[in-house]
Structure 1
Amino acid sequence: MNKKHVLFLCTGNSCRSQMAEGWAREFLGDQVHAYSAGIEAHGVNPIAIQVMKEAGVDLSGHSSKLASTLADIPLDLVITVCGHADENCPAFLTQAKLVHVGFDDPPKLAKEADTETLALDCFRRVRDEIRDFVRDQLPELIAQTPSR
């Protein structure tokens, strides 16, 4: 079976797309080459690394990268995980099948939290929502996506 090349795209490649890449490697590593990138590169959010580690997925070796650095990879599927990335997806990525699955922005949610525990819970909730999408819905999307 040929592995599909799947990109998770968000604005800064700091949190949601990083989590999605980590889950895809965890659950579907035998089916996909998973990547994450951003319209911008903000650096990987340390709290995203922390909550993914709690769930058994290590993002500590990940780096934040621009979508343009993946221009030579024959992507089969691009999943935008935030509205800004969906609205501003670079043109070269539109050669792949595009799907938008939006998730809340954990850092934005955490800013409104009253305690550190509640702030962490914002990241954990989004982490788990992304996990459920990758585990439960992504396999069918991959099956429906032709290789390029």
Structure 2
Amino acid sequence: MRNVLFVCTANSARSVLGEGLLRYMGEGRFETYSAGSTPRRSVNPDALACLARHGLPTDGFRSKSWEEFAGQNAPQMDLIVTVCDSAAGEACPVWPGHPLVVHWGIPDPASVEGDDAVRGEAFDLAYRRLKQRIQAMLVLGDAVFTTGDGKQKLAAIGAAADAQDLKHV
């Protein structure tokens, strides 16, 4: 069982989608978590609606600080994935166990204004982008966590996906 933490500034949208997606797609091989550097008091309802639209569970999500995962009694992470540029650039806590830390930038769907359909489309796009990156990670297999070039391979997923995303803008 591998522990993976998705980090975003508010821990209300993208990191929650990542947590839910990997929990589902990993088929019991991952314990997944999400956190933020400055978490909101609650998870964005559009994030939960997106998970539900795609048939994923929506129970148990809460917005929490990354400090919860930096203490001595916290679960030891194998991988930390930052999903927003501001969280990637912030001074992260010292993570126990020295996990792999990579960045997979995803535009913030919570910043999109409009009716339910417009916001839903933005969340579905973030969902698809995260799903693509997680699928690529799963293809690499468990060895990616123990090989010397594992971090580079995981980071390359985000870089390649970012380049592909820019072609469609």
Q: TM-score category by the smaller chain? A: 0.7 to 0.9
CA distance 1:73–1:139, shift in 2 (3 Å): farther
Aligned residues: 142
Structure 1, unaligned stretches of length 5 or more? none
Q: Does 1:33 align with 2:35?
A: no
1: CA distance between counterparts of 2:63 and 2:48?
12
- Give the match for residue 74 of structure 1: 76
State the secondary structure of the residue aligned to 2:64: coil
Question: TM-score normalized by structure 2?
Answer: 0.76
Question: TM-score normalized by structure 1?
Answer: 0.86
Report which stretch shifted further, 19-28 or 119-128: 119-128
> Residues 46 and 119 of structure 2 are in contact (CA less than 8 Å); yes or no, is this contact kept in structure 1?
no
2: CA distance between counterparts of 1:141 and 1:77?
13
1: CA distance between counterparts of 2:7 and 2:39?
11
> Residues 8 and 21 of structure 1 are in contact (CA less than 8 Å); yes or no, is this contact kept in structure 2?
yes
- Give the match for residue 52 of structure 1: 51
- Give the match for residue 127 of structure 1: 127
Residue 102 of structure 1 is aligned with which of 105, 110, 119? 105
> Residues 18 and 59 of structure 1 are in contact (CA less than 8 Å); yes or no, is this contact kept in structure 2?
no
Amino acid at match of 2:129: E
Q: CA deviation at 1:60?
A: 3.4
Identity across matched positions, percent: 27
Moved over 6 A (4+): none
CA distance 1:138–1:92, shift in 2 (3 Å): farther
> Cα RMSD over matched residues?
2.0
State the secondary structure of the residue aligned to 2:145: coil
Structure 2, unaligned stretches of length 5 or more? 148-169
- Give the match for residue 92 of structure 1: 94
Q: CA deviation at 1:89?
A: 4.4
CA distance 1:100–1:141, shift in 2 (3 Å): farther
